[in-house]
Amino acid sequence: EDQAVRMVTPCLLPDKSTVTQIEIRSAQHYNLTIYNTGSNVIDDRGLVVRVLEKNVVHTDSETFLRSPSEELVVHWIKRLFHGEPQQRPRPIEATVILDNVNLLFAAQESFLSEIGSTENDFSPDFVMNARRTLVKRYGGLLQHCGAMSSCHPLSQIIMMQKSLYSAAVSLLQSLRDGAECSCDLAPVLESLRFYNTATEAEAEGGNEGGGLVTSVVMKWLSQALHFYGLVSSMGSLSQVLADHASFLQRREQRFLALHSINQQLLLHPRVLEDLVECCVEYIE
């Protein structure tokens, strides 16, 4: 009873017959869904509800509150992008963190929303912000400006089957030389800068690739590929795209081709769409 938070909020409701359910969401309280089938819940005078506060912990700013589970995820993400490179996790630990966070995203999309509100420790807003944080730092891998050039990491790793080291060296060389493909690499460079923004070397960089070193780019490539679930498919992606190229190049046939490809690769549909958008050009 001490945890109960009573709130009475003025609410202008439409006709009761048009309301099927009302969802109440808060980062500090357990989510609550009220269905119109419940008795004496929605009446002509409005709606009165009581929601329970989560077992929250205070952040450093004391402005926001997070549940213990949310605080753990924040700790993982802070470790991934720690300002001190030596404080960042080693490769295996980094992949475990990314696996756990991806599991959270998948669960939130599929079944966590179906679980009772008292069992849901992650607010939708928190999960959305966590996803945005990671996409901001890794999303450049699946983006390009104009036609994708041979300098792009996806072209190097997937289409040319180069190693992460070779792709990282080539990417840095292209950025430093200011090659013709530098426009194509703009989203990649933006994500790399977000990934490495806190390091002293990055702050001192003068040219396009200034401050970025091969080891940092390799870590970014490895983590980005893992975040998007592409690691297990890297060996077969080039052949699969080549086998379906004639269909992927035509707008009216691409959707069915994507469906067929994903029966083999089992990637997130949006990831596959972005990957194909980068690697396969339409034939008008």
DSSP letter string over 106-121? HHHHHTGGGS-GGG--
Please report which confidence band the pLDDT of residue 124 belongs to, taking 50, 70 and 90 as the band edges: confident
The pLDDT of residue 117: 44
The pLDDT of residue 42: 57
Of 62-66, 152-156, 183-187, 244-248, which range is least confident? Answer: 62-66
Query: From the centroid of its chain, how far is CA 161?
Result: 25
CA distance 213 to 96: 24
Residue with tokens 């506060």: 53
- DSSP helix, strand, coil percent of the chain (3-state; round to 5): 55, 10, 35
Degrees, nearest 5: CA angle 206-225-248:
110
Query: How many Cα atoms are found within 13 Å in the side-chain-facing hemisphere of 236?
Result: 10
The pLDDT of residue 220: 94
Segment 90-113 shows an average pLDDT of 84
Q: Among positive and negative, which fits the CA dihedral 14, 15, 16, 21? A: negative
pTM of the predicted protein model: 0.72
